[in-house]
Amino acid sequence: MIIAVDGPTASGKGTIARALAAHFGLPVLDTGLLYRAVGYQTQLNHGDPDDASDALVACDFPDSLLDDPALRYESTGSLASRVSVHPTVRKALLRRQVDFANQPGGAVLDGRDIGTVIAPHADAKLFVTASPEERARRRHTEILGRGVEVSFEAMLADIHARDARDTGRADAPLIRAADADLLDTGEMTIGEAVQRAITLVEART
């Protein structure tokens, strides 16, 4: 069974993907982490994330980088969104994701283009979303909880910028697949969203 979970930043898709993986006993891949590793490696190389060849060189990052806490920083998310517009970068990361999706027994993947590009044949596809304000509020609370000072307005502006880049790029833009179930988590607790996700997947499989 392959489950594709796509959606914008801070929609809850990562938490939902991990909960689905635990529930159905499947391995899970957070594909955003791969783009974050490329963005961060570009910076370590003193490269320009907006330059396609600098970003392509960074696709050759060491596997150990995937465990680096710096990949979780907000600033790394922005770098990831900049390197992810380059088609050559997307192509370099494709095989790893497709192989993960097609492993025997199945898998859960979360990202932006799982249901459209990586696993268009997935058994269940969820498009997880919430309003930009709600997503900014969640991210803001999470960051303040880590003791980092950031304004809500700056958070909202970053969410809008990331959404615009992810939905506006030419190659594999963030878009709901025609056969994806919509899961708006705006009015839900995370527990309710997970329960709803399980119900939607069960109905498809």
Q: Residues in the site for ligand C5P, rule: CB under 6 A? A: 9, 31-32, 35-36, 77, 80-81, 84, 111-113, 162, 166
Query: CB 35 → ligand C5P: shortest distance, Å?
Result: 3
Query: CB 91 → ligand C5P: shortest distance, Å?
Result: 12
Q: CA separation (Å) from 186 to 16, 51, 93, 125?
A: 14, 36, 31, 19
Token pair for 191: 């527990």
Query: CB 121 → ligand C5P: shortest distance, Å?
Result: 16
SS3 (DSSP) at 49: coil
**Which CB sits closer to ligand C5P, 26 or 93?**
93
Q: Is 11 annotated as a binding residue?
A: yes
Sheet with 181-184, side-by-side order of all strands: 28-30, 107-111, 2-6, 124-129, 181-184
Calculated CA dihedral for residues 108, 111, 113, 114, nearest 10 degrees: 0
**Which CB sits closer to ligand C5P, 87 or 202?**
87
Element holding 114 (H helix, E strand): none
**Which CB sits closer to ligand C5P, 154 or 202?**
154
Q: Is 8 annotated as a binding residue?
A: yes
**Which CB sits closer to ligand C5P, 131 or 199?**
131
Q: Is 125 annotated as a binding residue?
A: no
**Which CB sits closer to ligand C5P, 24 or 40?**
40
Q: Is 10 annotated as a binding residue?
A: yes
Query: CB 187 → ligand C5P: shortest distance, Å?
Result: 22
Rg (CA), the chain: 16
Query: CB 111 → ligand C5P: shortest distance, Å?
Result: 3
Q: Is 205 annotated as a binding residue?
A: no
> Which residues sit in the known binding site?
7-15
> Which residues sit in the known binding site for ATP?
7-15
